[in-house]
């Protein structure tokens, strides 16, 4: 089987936001390398055949991101970002959504092919502070990497910036038949890319950093880890890359320009051919 491999890097340089007036370049971290945080996989409250039940709580927290004071953060079932939700094609998902935040939020499933306006958690499905909402939907789509993020209007961006962003993975039979790494946290690695500016006492300050085109900061984080490293133990590694930043576009390469292969985009595998680049 001969399949052409596309080695060109497909982007329009002039359209990149490095050319924006408000662009904030990333700075090399001055703090020592930290092991990459791997979000835990969410455990269902109950499984009854294809019916799977979860409780998801949007909560405040604080995390030791830098030496010194902990940073105040938000997350889903976690102080920052969230647990990873692993769903399977054909499952019916029952969610008990709880808001422990000081303001209204929603629980939006970015990439899941599920009904709106309530189940998919857009602006029309508010959960008020101290309240909850129950939704049910059936997963009926191919394997994909998706995400859960807040989507209240007009504070979607601010709440995601506080940390309300978690990965969701859909599995199916086709994906299982492919020779791909799928050992979560070992050779199948979630990478949630974000950037922040740290102010006094290591706090984030959305108002201070506010830009109507989206907030950026000079410090990169992956899964909420600054200057992360990951010890690879396998020959092949699969990276699930999620741009969870508010504005930044990311150009990714390995520091030694190791070649890698793109196998999927939003919601689908690259078929019939793979794309790769070398630099």
Site stretch for Cu ion (CB under 5 A), options 31-39, 99-107, 110-118, 124-132: 110-118
Paired with 157 in beta bridges are none
Closest of 142, 165, 150, 44 to residue 93, by C-alpha: 44
For residues 65 and 247, which CB has a smaller minimum distance to Cu ion in the complex?
247
Q: How far is the CB of 46 from Cu ion (least distance, A)?
A: 28
User: Count of residues binding Cu ion (CB under 5 A)?
Assistant: 1
**95/104 Cα distance (integer angstroms):** 18
Site stretch for Cu ion (CB under 5 A), options 41-49, 105-113, 202-210, 211-219: 105-113
Q: How far is the CB of 107 from Cu ion (least distance, A)?
A: 11
Q: How far is the CB of 110 from Cu ion (least distance, A)?
A: 3
Phi, psi of 212 (to 5 degrees): -60, -20
Q: How many CB atoms lie within 10 A of CB 115?
A: 11
Structure tokens at 138: 């059936």
For residues 161 and 198, which CB has a smaller minimum distance to Cu ion in the complex?
161
For residues 96 and 110, which CB has a smaller minimum distance to Cu ion in the complex?
110
Within 209-228, which residues bind Cu ion (CB under 5 A)?
none
Structure tokens at 237: 């590694």
Q: How far is the CB of 170 from Cu ion (least distance, A)?
A: 15
Position with the least CB separation from Cu ion: 110
Peptide bond into 112 cis (omega under 30): no
**216/209 Cα distance (integer angstroms):** 7
Q: How far is the CB of 64 from Cu ion (least distance, A)?
A: 28
For residues 110 and 275, which CB has a smaller minimum distance to Cu ion in the complex?
110
Q: How far is the CB of 80 from Cu ion (least distance, A)?
A: 18
Peptide bond into 137 cis (omega under 30): no
The answer to whether 166 and 84 have CB atoms below 8 angstroms apart is yes
The answer to whether 4 and 274 have CB atoms below 8 angstroms apart is no
For residues 63 and 215, which CB has a smaller minimum distance to Cu ion in the complex?
215
Site stretch for Cu ion (CB under 5 A), options 104-112, 165-173, 177-185, 255-263: 104-112
Within 143-162, which residues bind Cu ion (CB under 5 A)?
none
Site stretch for Cu ion (CB under 5 A), options 65-73, 107-115, 248-256, 260-268: 107-115
The answer to whether 89 and 172 have CB atoms below 8 angstroms apart is yes
Selected from 72, 100, 110, 133, the binder of Cu ion by CB under 5 A is 110
Do strands 238-243 and 264-265 pair parallel, antiparallel, or not at all (unpaired)? unpaired
For residues 110 and 197, which CB has a smaller minimum distance to Cu ion in the complex?
110
Q: In what order do the strands lie in the sheet with 219-222?
A: 219-222, 188-196, 238-243
**202/179 Cα distance (integer angstroms):** 43
Q: How far is the CB of 177 from Cu ion (least distance, A)?
A: 29
Q: Does 72 bind Cu ion (CB under 5 A)?
A: no
Give the binding site for Cu ion (CB under 5 A): 110
């Amino acid at each position: 089987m001969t399949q052409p491999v596309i080695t060109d890097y497909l982007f329009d340089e002039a359209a990149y936001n490095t050319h924006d007036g408000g662009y904030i370049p990333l700075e090399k971290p001055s703090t020592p390398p930290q092991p990459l945080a791997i979000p835990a996989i969410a455990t269902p409250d109950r499984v009854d055949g294809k019916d799977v039940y979860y409780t998801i709580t949007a909560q405040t927290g604080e995390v030791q991101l830098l030496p010194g004071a902990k940073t105040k953060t938000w997350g889903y079932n976690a102080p920052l970002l969230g647990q990873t939700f692993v769903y399977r094609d054909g499952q019916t998902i029952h969610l008990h959504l709880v808001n422990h935040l000081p303001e209204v939020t929603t629980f939006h499933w970015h990439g899941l092919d599920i009904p709106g306006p309530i189940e998919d958690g857009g602006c029309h499905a508010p959960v008020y502070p101290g309240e909850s909402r129950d939704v049910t939907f059936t997963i009926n789509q191919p394997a994909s990497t998706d995400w859960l993020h807040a989507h209240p209007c007009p504070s979607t961006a601010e709440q995601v910036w506080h940390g309300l962003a978690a990965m969701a993975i859909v599995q199916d039979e086709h994906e299982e038949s492919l020779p791909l790494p799928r050992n979560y946290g070992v050779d199948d690695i979630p990478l949630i890319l974000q950037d922040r500016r740290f102010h006094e006492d290591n706090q984030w300050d959305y108002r201070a950093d506010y830009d109507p085109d989206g907030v950026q900061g000079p410090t990169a984080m992956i899964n909420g880890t600054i200057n992360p490293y990951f010890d690879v133990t396998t020959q092949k590694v699969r990276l699930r890359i999620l741009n969870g930043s508010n504005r930044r576009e990311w150009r990714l390469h390995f520091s030694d320009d190791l070649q890698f292969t793109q196998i999927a985009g939003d919601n689908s595998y690259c078929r019939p051919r793979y794309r790769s680049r070398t630099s």
